[in-house]
Structure 1
Amino acid sequence: MAKSKQNDETPGSDADTGQEPHEAIDDTSSPTTTSEQAVESTEVRGAAAPPAAAPPETAQAGDRKVGSASKNIALFALFFSLMAVAAAVILWYRVDVESRLQVGEVRTGLSAMQGRVDDFRSSQRDLLATQKTLQQEVQAIPGKLDDLQRQLSKTDQRLAGNLDTLKNSLQRLYSELNRSVDTWAKEEVEQLLVVANQRLQLAGDSHMALAAIQLADQRLQKIGDPAFTEVRTLLASEVTALKNLPIIDRTGMALKIASLANSVPKWPLKSMPKARKPVVDSSADTNLANWRNQLQSIWQDLKTLVRIQNLEQPKKALLAPDQRYFLVQNLQITLRAAGLALLQSDQKLFRLQLGTAAQWLQDYFAKSPGRKAALAALAGLQKAEIRPAMPDISASLLALRRLRKTQNRQ
């Protein structure tokens, strides 16, 4: 602030003081020149004038002129001296102000320089600290490099192991991929024949077995290897045997059984006979002394304790016949069990359930056209063969396996 103020004041002072001394000097120089010209003109006139004695009035007038001229010269000299002193003072003031301004600028520059030096020293200290940190980090680098080298060695070892494992896996994969298409086709044919045998022997599903055998024959035809001629011949005979099986209308029989089950609530029940009262032998009380009667009584008691039943006969209803709802439900459940046995190709269970249903119809339901038709339908279903004797279709599978073993040995 002081510096800027001094700078603002300095140009004004320079403007005010810088021109006045020159003007004063110019003013003083002009009177001096005039007086010198007057003296010279006087001297010239004195030299030119004859040395005649001047009159007193003229002499006095000349003295007055000389005195006034001297006074003017003195005034001009004084004025010039004052102007010179003023110019000197102004010049000194200006020089002093400029010197002070220069000193202030120098001090300001020194202060700025000192600030820069301080900043430089601070930066130097920071650089030294950074250098020290960097030196520590540089010193720690060899240790870190050793750790990284050890980790890299472990990683290389692990990668080498993984690479070996990958190579082995790729080799196995290549060996698998190098297997011919015929090999895959042969395996597919073998699996189809296995499925056909399982479906026929375990589930009695001749339709699925026939479809699997025909598909296997198509695969062998695409392979086109003459070595499989024997296998295809066996497949052809097995297809013929499966096609010659009797056609079983499982759907029709299942629908007939379901219709019978739905018609059970419509059939009337028999009138239930009254329960018989046990016969009491009155002679037992009168003839207790008779040992034969006692033995007969004991025998009757033993007969009531031991009961022999033929379990192969169809079971009767577990619930009392007078309970119509439960009797109808039991008969419907029996018929539905027969339908399930039909779908599972279980010939024995199918006939057993149908026989049980027919027996319940005869025992608990009254004679009616519906009961008669139901008994006739059940008798016809019992005669049906839901699982006929299945042909042996394993010959083609065995021949295929023997041929593959022979080819693998070669």
Structure 2
Amino acid sequence: MSEQPQTDDKPDLLDYLGRLQPALILALLALGIAGWQWWDSNNRIHQLQAELGQRLAASSSVEQESRVLSKQAMDATRDLSVKLGEIQGKLADSQNQQLALEALYQDLARSRDEWTLADIEQIVLSASQQLQLAGNARAALIALQSADTRLQRLNKPQFTALRRAINDDIQRLQAVPQIDTVGITLRLDALIVDVDDLPIASDHEIPAAQTRTRHPQPAGMANRFGREVWQELKGLVQVRRMDAPDSALLAPEQVYFLRQNLKLRLLTARIALLAHDETSYKADLQAAQHWVKRYFNSSDARVTNALVSLGKLANSPVSIQLPTLSESLAALQSSRIGRNR
């Protein structure tokens, strides 16, 4: 009876161990997994610590470099600020100089315009005097064209009205008929030179004694003296045939004054030509024609040519209707008043 219970306890223990073995296995597995996780976590923590240490060291190095770079940037910024201040100062000086230069340029341009306007005014006044005093339309035209060229070079809009007035006067001067003043003056000068060579109709000059061939004569003081006296008497008296019985007989002194008065007539005709005074011009030439016909030898070719020239000159028109430059002068006055304002 004592052996039966002993036999019954063994199966119970085996059953208990059988039931306990899966749980133990599970517990051991759980313990193993927990150990592995702890070990893995521990390794990861060490790795993170090492990585964090490396990053902290790198961050410290970067921070140090950043501080160095920041200091350098601050120094560079400070230098740039100084340079910027210098540049701003120079820029301000440059702007002041530019303003001064612009003011100076405006003054110079204004002065240049005023000088040019004054020169043009002198040119126009000179052209007006040429028209009024000498009647020289050609010289006035050249002067106005020179003034227009000066204004064209300026190319300023404020001088447009002045250029228009000058161009209008230029067109009026170009429409004036041209007179050959120079050619007529040269012909008058040639006549003045020829006056001294014109022969007088009643020339009292004693001709030079002709050379006579001496023939042998009988010797004798009385005969030789008589022949010489006869030659002298023949030289004192001249007998000429006068085509016009009323021709004036002039003494040598009167001949001199006649030639001088004839020259004066031609000279006054030339002055009247330059002044375009046709009445005085023709009166002087007609008086010169009358004197040449009356006192000079009309059968001589030189006198005939002089009369022909005097007739042609007397028939040449010398009077022209010259325009005035009042429009250009008024435009100049308006330009000057506008600039003064």
TM-score scaled by length of structure 2: 0.48
TM-score scaled by length of structure 1: 0.41
Higher relative contact order (CA 8 A, sep 6+): 2
